[in-house]
């Protein structure tokens, strides 16, 4: 892990290219550090001035006469590599380079390379270039040239924010200030010649002052580093919220075609986020709302389930509403998020119906507009469900009711009591409330939203976060990779017989088959397998077997097999011909495809989906990193709808989904065992039938 202490908690800061004009790039950090109360030492470096903004200036880095923790670099791009060397020689530990004109402009990549090389050679930690810098709000370190903190800073808090984009980072800072969201650190990584977003996430995961990590990224340069960072955050129990736009930093030029062309890549990112329980936000609003929710919200209470719900089920939520219609909107949202809505427990229901005969005690629990006349009804309903033990959380919609004087007084009493009760489920409230009432509620651990649907979204995010934390407690088992024989160095692919053998050895059921070297042998094999059979060309050189007439299906007799053998031998032409694969035709009620391909960022990625015509029409594939865990494989079955095909589809028997997932896990392990040599692995079709999955064809290409 990179230690960001010198960058984010420096005892001394040099500003190289310091300007006497506070609004200039080289002047702003000096102004900010001075005005906002940084209490370390600041050394302006400017050969043309004796003092800079009231501080003694130094003609060079060397002239400071002592090593500094952090240097802020605001010199023209061509001078930056030399400055970096000087900093290194002077013992500087970290440097932020604001200057643009590096890899983001054509012809600037070499200069960036030189800058990074100097930093590396001298052991200087590099943030940037072309970045907006970094801040530590608690220590009042403002290593940025953005004037935005001059207009005010957010409260010191426990949300760490890291953004590849400076403009996004600046805007996020302003929004955090407006929303009163407390920040610990703020880091923009720019061109990432040194530190990457992943390094900052990993450090924040270990930083005791950070509890939630907000991330904006355009693309990862190093998938393994990002995964390590996510793993560190997960292990530390710190939720990560990410906004990842649908493109890579490199390809920002043709943005209008990005979403389409990189949809696959985005699905891989999503699979990585899913794997580590990273929360994803697609809008700025959702980004901040999730930050607020995860920083301030309480996880669902443990609940008891009289109806015998499985212990690992999602915690149920009670919806308490003054409007039946809004309650149903919230219920719709809960259902789409998979949150159970069991009805009000009997005692609480009886009490509510006694007070308001036309109240609804199913869930959503509708206390109706009566609350204005009978405010105690609302308070009692909230307390009743929060203390019932039947719910993990309580989501309430008050409309404008909270502002009615009588209602507010009664609510205050109840909520104050609930806040002191460790057995009461957390409360999430929506409605129109004045700022002071909102603050009062938040001080008592309630989350407050304007939009009723956001209370439900927050309950789901907190439940997910709790589940991620718990999953860390279960030690994960290192996957056993199957042995793979030495693969010939010059081979571009395995033959189908070789691929089938590898798979079968790893526990992947394959269609019964044999390799025939002549027509007589083909017939003998077919007769021993039983008809009908398929006859297929077997050659490392021929991947698209059916395109050249190398596949004959559904053969019912010896003569047909003999003819087919001759046909596929002729089809081989001048290519290597290992023989003909004679395979039993597999029957089932559907087909899926499972594959593994190489992603440029994350390496081997497994995918699964419904096969046949639907695969091209609906394109609902699910992705996961190879080798897959059993949990991830199960999640992929759901995401791809393969689960539906295996669960009593059209009256067919239901398969053991754990066994189906195991097969997919085993496929991914074959790919992982081949490792660096693997280009792609594809099983298509994988027949879904009464015996489970059986591979009817397999292609493995190498690199």
Interface with a copy of itself in residues 307-346 (CB under 8 A) = 322-329, 331-332, 334-336, 341, 343
Q: How far is the CB of 88 from a copy of itself (least distance, A)?
A: 28
Find out whether 394 and 386 touch, Cβ atoms under 8 Å. yes
**Does 601 interact with a copy of itself (rule: CB under 8 A)?**
no
Contact with a copy of itself (CB under 8 A) among 21, 51, 60, 259: 259
CB atoms within 10 A of CB 397: 27
Residue ranges in 473-532 that form contacts with a copy of itself under rule CB under 8 A: none
Q: How far is the CB of 417 from a copy of itself (least distance, A)?
A: 26
Q: How far is the CB of 70 from a copy of itself (least distance, A)?
A: 22
Sheet holding 365-366, edge to edge: 365-366, 317-321, 393-397, 427-430, 447-449
**Does 118 interact with a copy of itself (rule: CB under 8 A)?**
no
Closer to a copy of itself by Cβ: residue 227 or 258: 258
Class of residue 377 by CB neighbours under 10 A (exposed 0-12, middle 13-18, buried 19+): buried
Find out whether 533 and 490 touch, Cβ atoms under 8 Å. no
Contact with a copy of itself (CB under 8 A) among 649, 657, 680, 692: 649
**Does 651 interact with a copy of itself (rule: CB under 8 A)?**
no
List phi, psi (to 5°) of 493: -165, 165
**Does 625 interact with a copy of itself (rule: CB under 8 A)?**
no
**Does 348 interact with a copy of itself (rule: CB under 8 A)?**
no
Angle between helices 223-235 and 197-206 (to 10 degrees): 20
Contacts of 436 (CB under 8 A, 6+ apart): none
Contact with a copy of itself (CB under 8 A) among 650, 654, 676, 703: 650
Contact with a copy of itself (CB under 8 A) among 184, 243, 465, 684: 243
Strand partners, 594: 608, 683
Strand partners, 538: 579
Cα 71 to Cα 450: distance, rounded to the nearest angstrom: 44
Contacts of 514 (CB under 8 A, 6+ apart): 521, 525, 528, 529, 581, 582
Cα 81 to Cα 111: distance, rounded to the nearest angstrom: 8
Contact with a copy of itself (CB under 8 A) among 436, 478, 616, 676: 616
Cα 341 to Cα 316: distance, rounded to the nearest angstrom: 6
Contact with a copy of itself (CB under 8 A) among 36, 49, 55, 284: 284
Q: Alpha helices, DSSP H only, in 532-581?
A: 558-572
**Does 546 interact with a copy of itself (rule: CB under 8 A)?**
no
Find out whether 195 and 133 touch, Cβ atoms under 8 Å. no
Closer to a copy of itself by Cβ: residue 353 or 524: 353
Closer to a copy of itself by Cβ: residue 3 or 354: 354
Closer to a copy of itself by Cβ: residue 333 or 539: 333
- Binding span for a copy of itself by CB under 8 A among 234-242, 249-257, 562-570, 628-636: 249-257
Cα 319 to Cα 365: distance, rounded to the nearest angstrom: 6
Residue ranges in 569-588 that form contacts with a copy of itself under rule CB under 8 A: none
Q: How far is the CB of 403 from a copy of itself (least distance, A)?
A: 8
Q: How many residues of this chain bind a copy of itself (CB under 8 A)?
A: 86
Q: How far is the CB of 144 from a copy of itself (least distance, A)?
A: 12
The CA–CA distances, whole Å, from 187 to 40, 239, 321, 424, 638 equal 19, 17, 41, 38, 37
Contacts of 27 (CB under 8 A, 6+ apart): 18, 19, 20, 21, 52, 53
Q: How far is the CB of 200 from a copy of itself (least distance, A)?
A: 16
**Does 22 interact with a copy of itself (rule: CB under 8 A)?**
no
Q: What is the distance in angstroms between the CA of the first residue and the CA of the last residue of the chain?
A: 32
Residue ranges in 64-103 that form contacts with a copy of itself under rule CB under 8 A: 100-101
Cα dihedral: 227, 229, 230, 234 (round 10): 130
Closer to a copy of itself by Cβ: residue 59 or 549: 549
Longest dimension (CA), the chain: 100
Contact with a copy of itself (CB under 8 A) among 83, 352, 645, 670: 645
Where are the extended beta strands (E) located within 260-350? 279-280, 317-321
Query: At CA 540, angle to CA 538 and CA 546, rounded to 5?
Result: 50
CB atoms within 10 A of CB 274: 18
Q: What is the CA radius of gyration of the chain?
A: 31
Residue ranges in 361-400 that form contacts with a copy of itself under rule CB under 8 A: 362-364, 368-369, 372, 399-400
Q: How far is the CB of 454 from a copy of itself (least distance, A)?
A: 8
Residue ranges in 98-117 that form contacts with a copy of itself under rule CB under 8 A: 100-101, 104-105
Q: How far is the CB of 231 from a copy of itself (least distance, A)?
A: 25
Strand partners, 15: 44, 72
Find out whether 207 and 146 touch, Cβ atoms under 8 Å. no
**Does 354 interact with a copy of itself (rule: CB under 8 A)?**
no
Residue ranges in 404-443 that form contacts with a copy of itself under rule CB under 8 A: 404, 431-432
Residue ranges in 122-181 that form contacts with a copy of itself under rule CB under 8 A: 132, 147-148, 151, 163-168, 170-171, 174-175, 178
**Does 451 interact with a copy of itself (rule: CB under 8 A)?**
yes
Residue ranges in 213-232 that form contacts with a copy of itself under rule CB under 8 A: 216, 218
Closer to a copy of itself by Cβ: residue 353 or 517: 353
Contact with a copy of itself (CB under 8 A) among 31, 258, 513, 540: 258
Closer to a copy of itself by Cβ: residue 58 or 142: 142
Q: How far is the CB of 433 from a copy of itself (least distance, A)?
A: 11
Contact with a copy of itself (CB under 8 A) among 46, 136, 196, 247: 247
Contact with a copy of itself (CB under 8 A) among 66, 107, 152, 283: 283
| Cis ω for the linkage preceding 330 (within 30 of 0) | no
Which residue in 446, 542, 431 sits closest to 494, CA to CA? 542
Q: How far is the CB of 369 from a copy of itself (least distance, A)?
A: 6
Cα 327 to Cα 340: distance, rounded to the nearest angstrom: 14
Q: How far is the CB of 594 from a copy of itself (least distance, A)?
A: 16
Residue ranges in 197-216 that form contacts with a copy of itself under rule CB under 8 A: 216
Cα dihedral: 338, 341, 342, 347 (round 10): 150
Closer to a copy of itself by Cβ: residue 163 or 388: 163
**Does 556 interact with a copy of itself (rule: CB under 8 A)?**
no
């Amino acid at each position: 892990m990179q230690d960001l202490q010198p960058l984010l908690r420096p005892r001394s800061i040099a500003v190289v290219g310091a300007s006497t004009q506070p609004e200039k790039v080289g002047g702003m950090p000096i102004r900010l550090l001075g005005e906002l109360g940084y209490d370390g030492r600041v050394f302006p470096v400017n050969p043309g001035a004796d003092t800079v903004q009231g501080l003694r200036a130094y003609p060079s880095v060397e002239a400071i006469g002592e090593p500094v923790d952090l240097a802020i670099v605001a010199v023209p791009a061509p001078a930056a590599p030399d400055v970096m060397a000087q900093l290194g020689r002077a013992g500087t530990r970290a440097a932020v380079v604001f200057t643009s004109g590096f890899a983001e402009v054509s012809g600037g990549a070499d200069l960036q390379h030189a800058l990074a090389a100097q930093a590396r050679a001298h052991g200087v930690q590099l943030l940037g270039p072309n970045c907006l810098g970094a801040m530590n709000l608690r220590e009042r370190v403002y290593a940025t040239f953005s004037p935005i903190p001059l207009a005010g800073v957010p409260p010191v808090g426990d949300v760490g924010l890291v953004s590849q984009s400076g403009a996004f980072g600046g805007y996020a800072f302003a929004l955090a200030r407006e929303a009163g969201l407390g920040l610990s650190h703020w880091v923009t990584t720019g061109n990432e010649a040194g530190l990457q977003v992943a390094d900052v996430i990993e450090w924040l995961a270990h930083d005791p002052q950070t509890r939630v990590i907000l991330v904006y990224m355009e693309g990862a340069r190093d998938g393994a580093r990002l995964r390590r960072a996510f793993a560190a955050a997960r292990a530390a129990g710190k939720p990560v919220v990410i906004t990842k736009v649908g493109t890579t930093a490199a390809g920002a030029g043709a943005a209008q075609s990005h979403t389409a062309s990189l949809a696959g890549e985005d699905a891989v990112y999503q699979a990585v986020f899913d794997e580590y329980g990273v929360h994803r936000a697609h809008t700025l609003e959702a980004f901040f709302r999730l930050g607020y929710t995860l920083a301030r919200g309480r996880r669902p209470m443990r609940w008891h389930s009289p109806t015998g719900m499985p212990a690992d089920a999602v915690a149920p939520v009670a919806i308490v509403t003054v409007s039946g219609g809004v309650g149903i909107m919230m219920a719709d949202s809960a259902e789409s998020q998979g949150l159970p809505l069991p009805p009000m427990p009997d005692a609480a229901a009886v009490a509510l119906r006694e007070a308001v005969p036309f109240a609804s005690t199913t869930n959503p629990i509708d206390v109706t507009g009566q609350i204005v006349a009978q405010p105690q009804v609302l308070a009692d309903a909230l307390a009743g469900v929060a203390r019932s033990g039947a719910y993990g959380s309580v989501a309430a919609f008050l409309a404008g009711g909270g502002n009615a004087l009588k209602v507010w007084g009664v609510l205050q009493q109840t909520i104050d009591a609930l806040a002191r009760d460790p057995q009461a489920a957390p409360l999430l409230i929506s409605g129109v409330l004045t700022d002071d009432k909102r603050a009062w509620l938040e001080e008592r651990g309630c989350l407050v939203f304007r939009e009723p649907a956001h209370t439900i979204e927050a309950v789901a995010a907190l439940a997910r976060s709790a589940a991620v934390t718990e999953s860390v407690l279960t030690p994960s088992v290192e996957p056993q990779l199957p042995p793979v024989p030495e693969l010939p160095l010059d081979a571009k692919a395995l033959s189908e017989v070789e691929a089938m053998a590898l798979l079968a050895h790893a526990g992947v059921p394959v269609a019964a088959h044999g390799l025939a070297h002549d027509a007589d042998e083909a017939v003998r094999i077919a007769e021993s397998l039983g008809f009908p059979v398929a006859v297929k060309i077997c050659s490392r050189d021929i991947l698209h077997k059916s395109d050249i007439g190398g596949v004959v299906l559904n053969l019912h007799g010896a003569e047909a097999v003999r003819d087919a053998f001759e046909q596929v031998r002729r089809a081989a032409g001048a290519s290597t011909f290992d023989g003909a694969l004679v395979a039993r035709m597999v029957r089932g009620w559907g087909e899926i495809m499972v594959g593994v391909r190489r992603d440029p960022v994350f390496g081997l990625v497994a995918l699964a989906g419904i096969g046949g015509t639907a695969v091209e029409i609906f394109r609902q594939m699910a992705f996961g990193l190879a080798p897959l865990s059993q949990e991830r494989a199960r999640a992929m079955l759901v995401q791809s709808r393969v689960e539906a095909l295996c669960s009593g589809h059209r009256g067919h028997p239901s398969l053991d989904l754990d066994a189906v997932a195991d097969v997919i896990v085993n496929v991914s392990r074959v790919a992982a065992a081949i490792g660096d040599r693997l280009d792609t692995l594809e099983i298509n079709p994988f027949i879904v039938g009464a015996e489970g999955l059986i591979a009817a064809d397999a292609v493995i290409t190498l690199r």
